[in-house]
Amino acid sequence: MNRHYSFARRNGLSLVLLGLMLIFWIGQFCTGWTEKNKEREEEGKPALSVVQYSRSGHFIQSTFENWESEFLQMALYVLLTIGLRQQGSSESKKMEGEEEVDREPKPRPDAPWPVRKGGIWLSLYKNSLSLAFAALFLVSFMLHFYGSLKDHNDEQLDKGLPPDHWSEYLLESRFWFESFQNWQSEFLAVASIVLLSIWLRQKGSPESKPVDAPYRQTGG
């Protein structure tokens, strides 16, 4: 049956997720702004306006160090699940045989245009998900670095020290500490859903196996 669904019904999951992201991002901004101005007040400096804080290294660094780790996690997860398996997990392909996602695309009339076009467009499209996540990771990584360097150099100037060049700061432990503390937590979260979905269930969720599925059954 061909049903007409409303925009909200068709896009409910993404709308709610993006809405929650926006709410928490605003919360991050407001609390970060307050915290930064508390520090400046203690140091006898004037408070930053909303616009000034939005351009500060403190806000840019704190935002993109988190985005960077999310996109890295997703890029590697997409790639690792192509060839690696976890027996019993709903997040893994089955232990043997090919699945629907492994078959070569066919240029059907209703297929996406890169499939119908073929050639380099098809090659790019076949890897477009991981390429998109990789590109988002690189952009976020560079913005994280920019924000972290800006915040660091603001602190250097406050101490009467010369600012560091980007090539010097790239070797500093501070920047890599900010990255590694987020990267490790993202892969812990992914490992958790991969492993917990072996034994635990959530009725109605595509991230879970059916409630009555045996523990050794792999795939959703």
Quick: pLDDT tens for 25-67: 999 999 999 999 999 999 999 999 999 999 999 999 999 999 9
Hey, where are the domains in the chain? 45-95+107-220
Positive/negative CA dihedral, 188, 193, 197, 198? negative
Q: N- to C-terminal Cα distance for the chain?
A: 25
Per-residue confidence at 97, pLDDT binned at 50, 70, 90?
A: confident
Q: What is the pTM of this model?
A: 0.92
Q: Are 218 and 92 in contact (CB under 8 A)?
A: yes
Mean pLDDT of the chain: 95
